[in-house]
Amino acid sequence: MIWRKWNFWLVLVMAATCIGLLEAAQVYAGTSALGRPMPWRTALASTMPSWYLLAALLPAIIWASRKFPLEPGRWRLSLVVHVLVATVFAVFHVTASSWISDAILYTGRQQPWDFRGNISRLLSIYFVVELFTYFALVAGYHAYEYGKRYRERERATALLQLRATRLEANLAQATLDSLRMQLNPHFLFNTLNTISVMALKGERHGVVRMLALLSDLLRLSLQNTQQVVSLRQELEFLDHYLEIEQVRFRDRLTIERDIEQDALDAEVPSLLLQPLVENAIHHGIARRAGPGTVRLEAGIVTGEVLELRVLDTGVGLGAPAGDSTGLGLSNTRARLEQLYGDRHELELTDRPGGGACVTVRLPLRILTREQMDATGRGIGAFAAGSASA
């Protein structure tokens, strides 16, 4: 309980002493100004007992305030109780303070002591003040309790928000991992389908080459588990995929690039470009007669946005077989939404001269050397494995 703490009592006694001394000084100064100075002993005896007694009664007031709080739903009963307690408090405080003061002042004196008359006079003067004092203390206690509850609610709310944020982050990470893991088998199945077609055509050397490239690419994909990498690392991964596609399409596929040097260290989601390029090749170039071109462009726009574009000279979005909303592209949309929210753009448009264009705009984030080293371990391990093979 609060009144059982020594520091509480110490502060209470010190506060009562300071206020009593200030009031005694005021009484002494006031009587001196009127030409009838009151002795310090009399001034102290007139003020100190009241404040010490109030300090002693404060725990009882706190108990009553806690037992009968002025809160919605029970304030009427509590108010009645507090009015009764306040009345008892006023009478007792005035009576006891006066009795102690008079006992100090008149002990050993022959001057008559009119205690009853003195009490009646003091109650007529200070009764309303005592009521206000009681309810001021009750209000102070309620203000303290409400402040404490508010701080506790704030701490609880902050803790819940922190837990919700962590849960949301874990859920987002799990969703990203799930989407990313869907891309690996999606790409694998498409590549194996290409290999099976080449095997049926009797292209033995091509099949062997494709299997070797696929093995290297899968090793790199499994070793690099980061959600984001630098554009440079993403392009290195894409090069291995394009080797597989150029084995299949030979002279029918031409790859062009226009990559700004300043954009190479920018952050991009890993496996971002591969499904976009795969979409351009399999839904664009593969469905038209004759050779085709896939062009990669990357640059920084307005100093704050990384813009990536994958253009092809295929059949375009309007062709019946040109559905560009497959698993790879839908997962790319979902991953961008998870990573960047509304701070990204992904647009699919037809090119005026034929073909399609996919544009991705991301907030520009330049990776530090340490971050690139961390995300590049998979590529480094892949290069070492390829060299040893």
Bridge partners, residue 289, by sequence:
none
What pLDDT, on the 0 to 100 scale, is given for residue 375? 57
| Residues 327, 183: Cα–Cα separation, whole Å | 8
- The predicted-structure confidence for 119-164, as pLDDT tens digits, reads as follows 777 777 888 888 898 999 899 888 988 888 888 888 888 888 888 7
| Residues 32, 38: Cα–Cα separation, whole Å | 7
**What are the C-alpha distances in Å from 194 to residues 23, 60, 162, 319?**
99, 88, 48, 23
CB atoms under 10 Å from CB of 33, counted, come to 9
Strand 356-363 relative to strand 345-350, pairing: antiparallel
Cβ proximity of 355 and 312 under 8 Å = yes
Burial of 111 (C-beta count, 10 Å sphere; 0-12/13-18/19+): exposed
And the tokens for 374? Answer: 């961390």
Does the pTM of the predicted model rise above 0.85?
Answer: no
Residue 90, phi then psi, degrees to nearest 5 = -60, -45
Burial of 295 (C-beta count, 10 Å sphere; 0-12/13-18/19+): middle
| Residues 365, 228: Cα–Cα separation, whole Å | 11
Local structure of residue 252 (DSSP, 8 states)? G
| pLDDT confidence band for 378 (50 / 70 / 90) | very low
What pLDDT, on the 0 to 100 scale, is given for residue 269? 87
Of all residues in the chain, the percent with pLDDT exceeding 70 is 80
pLDDT at 325 over 70: no
Cβ proximity of 92 and 53 under 8 Å = no
| Residues 378, 384: Cα–Cα separation, whole Å | 10
Q: Find all residues with CB under 8 Å of 46, minimum gap 6, and list them.
A: 24, 27, 38, 101, 105
pLDDT at 379 over 50: no
Burial profile 333-367: b = 16 or more Cβ within 10 angstroms, e = fewer = eebbebbeeeebebeeeeeeeebbbbbbbbebeeb
| Residues 124, 4: Cα–Cα separation, whole Å | 35
What pLDDT, on the 0 to 100 scale, is given for residue 177? 62
* 82/320: higher pLDDT: 82
Alpha helices in 34-74 (DSSP H): 40-67
Residue position matching structure tokens 């790879």:
328
And the tokens for 37? Answer: 């100075």
- The predicted-structure confidence for 221-271, as pLDDT tens digits, reads as follows 666 667 788 999 889 888 888 888 887 788 899 999 999 999 999 999 888
Please give the span between the terminal C-alpha atoms of the chain, in angstroms, as a whole number.
76
